[in-house]
Amino acid sequence: MSTSNHSAPMLTPQLFKEATIASFRKLTPRVQLRNPVMFTVYLGSLFTTLLWVNSLFVSTNESSQLILGISIWLWLTVLFANFAEAIAEGRGKAQAAALRRARTSVMAKKLTDLDRKTAVEIPAAELKVGDVVIVATGETIPADGDVIEGVASVDESAITGESAPVVRESGGDRSAVTGGTRVISDHLIIRVSTLPGQSFLDRMIAMVEGAQRQKTPNEIALAILLAALTLIFLMVVTTLLPFSLFSIEASGQGTPITLTVLVALLVCLAPTTIGALLSAIGIAGMNRLSQANVIAMSGRAVEAAGDIDVLLLDKTGTITLGNRQATKFHAAPGVPDRDLADAAHLASIADETAEGRSIAVLAKQQFGLRGRDMEHAKPTFIPFSARTRMSGVTIEGHEIRKGSTDAIENFVRQQNGHLPEAVRTTVQQIARSGGTPLVVSRDAQVLGVIELKDIVKGGIKERFAELRQMGIKTVMITGDNPLTAAAIAAEAGVDDYLAEATPEAKLALIREYQKGGRLVAMTGDGTNDAPALAQADVAVAMNSGTQAAKEAGNMVDLDSNPTKLIEIVNIGKQLLMTRGALTTFSIANDVAKYFAILPAAFATTYPVLKQLDLMHLASPASAIMSAVIFNALIIIALVPLALKGVKYRPVGAAELLRNNLLVYGVGGLIVPFIGIKAIDVLLSTLGLA
C-alpha cells in the first residue's frame, strides 16, 4: 500500500465532531493529572470559576466580568489541549477501525491426525500455538502462522491495502501468513504461531490507537522538565501576593495583586503551549509512520529512528534492483558481436528468469534481434541445473550453451575445444568490477562473455549523500565476495560494506557499533536475520518475511520495501525536530508574554514596571485578558503543525539548530507581540476590557 493511500484530510467533519466530544470527556481530574502542566491550568480554571461565583454574591476589588472572561479562556485552554490530543488519537483510531474490519470472526479447519486428512471446524479464537489448520481457496486465514505445506496466492489488502495478491509457500522467507488475510488460490497448511488476542493484527491495532501509546523516554524527560518549570513558576507566583501587600504597606499606596491575576500570570508563565501539544506530537509521529505503511511495535523505536547514526542495508533489493541484468556483450577474438548476441539470445528464449529476459532485451536493443520461427527449427531447450551450472538450446544441429566459466570450459573441452586466454581475461575483469560473467559457447567454440551486473537503483547514491550529511553512516550487507562487494559499494556510494555476511557476522557488526555508543538500524526478512534484528536499535522486519523476523523486529513494513528504512529515519528525525521546534517556540512565546502581563499585574504596586509595556496596551485588564486569550489561541493554531510535523531537510546538526532558533525562537518572540496587541485592540474596540 503506498503512502498516498493513507493521505487522508487532516480534519474531517466526523473527526472534528468526535474530537470535540472527546475534549469534554477528558475534563476529568484523572485524565488531566497525566499532564502536570495542563493539570495546573485545569486547577486554575476551577479556581477562577469559584472566584467568579463568589464575586456574584460578595463585593470584591476586581471586575466580575474580568474574572468570568479569564475563567472562560482558561477552560478553553484546557479544551484546546484536549482537542489537540483527541485529533491525533482520532486519526490513529480511524486506521485501527479499518484494521478491525479485517479481524473478522472466522472458523478454522483444524487438522486432527498425523496424516493431515481429517479436519474439524472450531472458532479461530480457540486455536492454540502449534495447532495445524488447512485453509482452502476463498477462506480467511484464522491466525498468524507459518506455511508448512503448499503454495498459494494470498490477498493481504485488508492489512497492506495492496490489491495485488502475494505468494506464500512453505520454506524460505515467505512462509509467514497473517490472520485476517484471505487465500485466493490453491490451499495452505499452516502451523499457528500466536495465541488469540496476540496476533500481529491485534498488535497493529493496539499500536495505531494513540490512547494505548506508551510515552517514550525523551518525551517523559521533557514532560518532567515542563512539570519542574511549572512548579518553579507556581512557587514564584505564590510569593507575589505577600510582596505586593508588603510594598503597599511600606509605600502607603497602590492596590494588592488579585488572585485572578495571579492565576492568569501563572498560566501565561508556565510552558502551556508545548505542554498542551506534547502528547499530540508523539501520537502524530506514530500516525505518520503508519501512513508510510509501517507499524511500530513501540514508540521508543520511532524516537530512536531519529537518533540513528549507522544504517545497515541489504544490497539486493535495497541498493540494487534485486536482479542482475545483462549490460554488455564481450565477443571472443575473431567472433562478430552480432554472432555472440544471436547465440546468447537463442540460449535465453526459454529462460524466464530476470537475467534471461534481460539478455534477450539487450540483444534486441543493440542488434535488433527478435525471436525466429521455432516451429520449423524444432529446438531442444536445456534448462538451468545447479549441477551443470549452465543452460541453453540445441537447434539446427548446433549446441548453444551459456553458464559459468568452469562449466562452459568443461563443455567445450569435451568437444575438443578450449577457452581462449582473452576470454579468461575478460571474465576476470568483469569479476573485479563487481559484475557476473556468463560465458557463451556454440559446439566447441567459445563465442564470448555476457556481462551481468547488479544495477544500482537510480538516485540511491544521492540518498546516501544526504544521509552522510545528516551524520549517518551507511553500511551495505551482502553475501557477495569482497571484490564484488567493494565494486558495488563504490558505485552506490555507501560508507562501508560487510561482504560474505553470515548471521553471526551481522550480529557482531551491530554489537561493535553499539559498543562505540552508536545507534544502529537495519532491515531483514529471514529467520537468519532475526538475531541481528533483535540486537539493532531500530529493526524493520518485512511483512513478507518469516514470523521469526517479525517477532525480532520492533517495526514491520507492510509494503516489504527495504528502502523504507531511509523514510523511517526521516520520520523519526521529523518527530524529534517537531518536538524541539515547538519547545523552542513555547519558551520564546512565554518570554514575550512577560512584557504584556507583568506591567499590567503590578501597574499600581510598582508603577516603574510600566516601562516594560512595550506594546502600549489599553489597560491592565485588557493586557491580562489579551495574554490569556492569546495563550489559548496559539495552542489551537499550532495543532496542524504538531500533526503534520516540521518539514525536515537533511542538513547538519549545527545548521539544524541555527534554523530552529531563527524560525521558531525568533518567531516565538515576535508572534506574541503581534497577537496580543491585535487582541488588545479588538477588546478595546468592542469595549470588552
pLDDT tens-digit profile of 539-597?
A: 888 876 777 777 888 888 877 777 788 888 888 888 888 988 999 999 888 888 877 77
pLDDT for 445 equals 92
- Supply the DSSP string of 7-59, one letter for each residue: ---S--HHHHHHHHHHHHHT-SHHHHTTSHHHHHHHHHHHHHHHHHHHHHHS-
| pLDDT digits 0-9 by tens, 59-110 | 777 788 889 999 999 999 999 999 988 887 776 666 666 556 555 567 888 8
Q: What is the pLDDT of residue 390?
A: 86
Q: Distance (Å, rounded) from C-alpha 615 to C-alpha 671?
A: 12
Look at 45-54, 67-76, 472-481 and tell me which has the smallest mean pLDDT. 472-481
- Around Cβ 399, how many Cβ atoms within 10 Å? 17
**pLDDT bucket at 496, cuts 50 / 70 / 90:** very high
Position 220 scores a pLDDT of 81
Residue 204 has a pLDDT of 62
Q: Which of 3-12, 159-168, 582-591, 603-612 has the lowest mean pLDDT?
A: 3-12
What is the pLDDT, as a whole number, of residue 9? 58
Answer yes or no: is 355 a known binding residue. yes
User: Residue 372, annotated ligand binder?
Assistant: no
Residue 155 has pLDDT above 60, yes or no: yes
pLDDT of 15-32, one tens digit each? Answer: 888 889 999 999 999 999
Q: Is 351 annotated as a binding residue?
A: yes
Cβ pair 67, 47 in contact under 8 A: no
Residue-wise burial string across 215-248, b where 16 or more C-beta atoms lie within 10 A, e elsewhere: bbebbeebbeebbebbeebeeebeebeeebeebb
Was 389 annotated as part of a binding site? yes
186 tagged catalytic? no
Give Cα separations from 194 to 124, 530, 559 (angstroms).
11, 17, 22
- Residue 411, annotated ligand binder? no
Q: What is the share, in percent, of the chain residues with pLDDT greater than 90? A: 19
**Burial readout 92-120 (b: 16 or more C-beta within 10 A, e: otherwise):** bbbbbeebeebbeebebbbbeeeeeeebe
In tens, the pLDDT along 381-424 reads: 888 776 778 889 998 888 999 988 888 999 999 988 899 999 99
Q: How far is 259 from 601, CA to CA, in rounded Å?
A: 11
Residue 388, marked binder: yes
pLDDT(439) > 90 = yes
Confidence of residue 446 (pLDDT cuts 50, 70, 90): very high
Q: What is the mean pLDDT of the segment spanning 195-206?
A: 66
Q: Residue 513: which of 302, 300, 307, 309 has the closest Cα? A: 309
pLDDT for residue 491: 85
Three-state secondary structure of 134-160: EECCCCECCCCEEEEECEEEEECHHHH
Q: Which CATH class is domain 321-455?
A: alpha beta
Rg (CA), the chain: 34
pLDDT of 269 higher than 80: yes
Residue 300 assigned to a binding site: no
pLDDT digits (tens, 9 = 90+) for 351-360: 777 788 888 8
Q: According to the annotation, is 525 in a ligand binding site?
A: yes
Classify 1 as helix, strand or coil. coil
Domain 294-319+457-558 has what CATH class?
alpha beta
The domain defined by 107-141+144-193 folds into 2.70.150
239: confidence class by pLDDT, cuts 50, 70, 90 = confident
Q: Which of 146, 155, 314, 557 is catalytic?
A: 314
Determine the pLDDT at residue 211: 45
Q: Which residues contact 576 (CB under 8 A, 6 or more apart)?
A: 218, 303, 306, 307
358 carries a ligand binding annotation: no
Hey, which residues does 448 pair with through a beta bridge?
331, 440
Query: Which of 101-105, 126-130, 516-520 has the weakest average pLDDT?
Result: 101-105
| 168 is known to lie in a ligand binding site | no
Q: What is the mean pLDDT of the chain?
A: 82
Whole-number Å distance between alpha carbons of 59 and 69 = 18
Cell of 257: 495583586
Say how far apart CA 477 and CA 334 lie, in whole Å: 41
**What is the distance between the alpha carbons of residues 188 and 178, in angstroms, rounded to a whole number?**
13
Average pLDDT over residues 285-302: 78
If one compares 299 and 158, the residue with the highest pLDDT of the two is 299
pLDDT for 1 beyond 50: no
Helix (H) or strand (E) holding 452: strand 445-456
The pLDDT assigned to 558 comes to: 77
Domain boundaries, given as residue ranges, for the chain = 13-94+209-291+571-686, 107-141+144-193, 294-319+457-558, 321-455
Q: Is 107 annotated as a binding residue?
A: no
Which pLDDT band holds residue 184 (cuts at 50, 70, 90)?
Answer: confident
Distance in angstroms (rounded) separating the CA atoms of residues 213 and 210: 5
> What is the C-alpha separation between 223 and 277, in angstroms, rounded?
11
Q: What is the dihedral of CA 174, 177, 182, 186, to 10 degrees?
A: 50
End-to-end CA distance of the chain: 55
